[in-house]
């Protein structure tokens, strides 16, 4: 394992190629249920003051990419509020422990973002605790693999995917933007699925394509307010969402299709979110940064 994210090494061997024996877990999945725990940067991410005294709101911050971003932001000097589902409380508490260990304030708000009132509550709590929001990271997502493709997707599932992935983003932005100063940043989480959709994730891929379009349109809307809007598009990333939503066969071979021959670990996504939140990316807006292990998104 690297000492920190700056160590030069062979990226194809930096993280394990095989992340699971194929064992699945009940949805929504918790980190301690996985047969191999993801690397969120707990022992490798080194901060350098790039987000000193900023305030960040991260949805889906309990595990996976959300936890990695929360840890990185805290070590870069930001205070962090995370949103999570009630079933994910133990994971959320672990994330907040790492935030506080970095010397920053950490706040957790439980709730299902499919309800507009919960999205508003997340923003209101952040403003009450910190007075403003400098970075909004919309990361929470729902997917459920269906090997039958279109035939296997129920209206209930389609609705849940879009309420979690798209409606919540809209509601969060509506609530948060009035509390975001000039220089603030909105960061969405799209996916390689938005550009290379898999039939077994048809509804999820469609929602991620919507996120890309929303990101680009919102960026043009908010640029006059001094707020930048960008997206990170991950490829395969080892998180609890994978064994909680895919078959044993897909879990066992997860990430093999990447040119790197392996999935990413959440810690490998965090630097992209740090860059987009920092003033270093001051001339970057309406962009999608691909972190896909070599699979092009165009």
Question: 223-261, pLDDT tens digit by residue?
Answer: 999 999 999 999 999 999 999 999 999 999 999 999 999
Q: Which residue has the higher pLDDT, 159 or 298?
A: 159
Do 60 and 136 contact (CB within 8 A), yes or no? Answer: no
Q: How far apart are CA 221 and CA 28, in angstroms?
A: 34
H-run or E-run covering 107: strand 106-110
Question: 180-211, pLDDT tens digit by residue?
Answer: 999 999 999 999 999 999 999 999 999 999 99
- CATH number of the 31-291 domain: 3.40.50.720
Q: How far apart are CA 83 and CA 110, in angstroms?
A: 6
| 84 labelled catalytic | no
| Confidence at 271, pLDDT banded by 50, 70, 90 | very high
Q: How far apart are CA 22 and CA 8, in angstroms?
A: 31
The mean pLDDT of 38-66, rounded to a whole number, is: 97
Strand-pair partners of 92: none
Maximal C-alpha separation, the chain: 50
Selecting among 73, 84, 204, 273, the annotated active-site residue is 204
Instruction: Reduce the DSSP state of residue 135 to 3 states and report it.
Output: strand
Please name which of 156, 247, 170, 273 lies closest in space to residue 203, comparing C-alpha atoms. 156
Q: How far apart are CA 180 and CA 187, in angstroms?
A: 13
């Amino acid at each position: 394992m690297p000492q920190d994210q700056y160590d030069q090494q062979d990226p194809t061997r930096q993280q394990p190629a095989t992340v699971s024996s194929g064992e699945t877990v009940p949805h929504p999945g918790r980190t301690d249920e996985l047969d191999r725990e993801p690397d969120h940067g707990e022992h490798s991410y080194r901060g350098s003051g790039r987000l000193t005294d900023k305030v960040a709101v991260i949805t889906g911050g309990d595990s996976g990419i959300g936890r990695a971003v929360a840890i990185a932001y805290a070590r870069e000097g930001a205070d962090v509020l995370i949103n999570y589902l009630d079933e994910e409380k133990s994971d959320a508490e672990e994330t907040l422990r790492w935030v506080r260990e970095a010397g920053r304030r950490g706040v957790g708000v439980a709730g299902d973002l499919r309800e507009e009132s919960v999205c508003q509550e997340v923003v209101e709590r952040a403003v009450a605790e910190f007075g403003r929001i400098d970075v909004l990271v919309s990361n929470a997502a729902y997917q459920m693999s269906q090997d039958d493709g279109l035939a296997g997707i129920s209206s209930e599932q389609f609705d849940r995917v879009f309420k979690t992935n798209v409606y919540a983003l809209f509601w969060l932005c509506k609530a948060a933007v009035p509390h975001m100063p000039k220089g603030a940043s909105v960061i969405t989480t799209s996916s390689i699925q938005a550009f290379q959709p898999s039939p077994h994730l048809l509804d999820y891929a469609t929602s991620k394509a919507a996120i890309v379009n929303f990101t680009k349109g919102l960026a043009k809307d908010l640029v006059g307010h001094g707020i930048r809007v960008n997206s990170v598009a991950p490829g395969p990333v080892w998180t609890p969402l994978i064994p909680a939503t895919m078959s044993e066969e897909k879990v066992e071979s997860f990430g093999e299709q990447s040119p790197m021959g392996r999935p990413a670990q959440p810690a490998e996504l965090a630097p992209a979110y740090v860059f987009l939140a920092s003033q270093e990316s001051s001339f970057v807006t309406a962009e999608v940064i691909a972190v896909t292990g070599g699979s092009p998104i165009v």
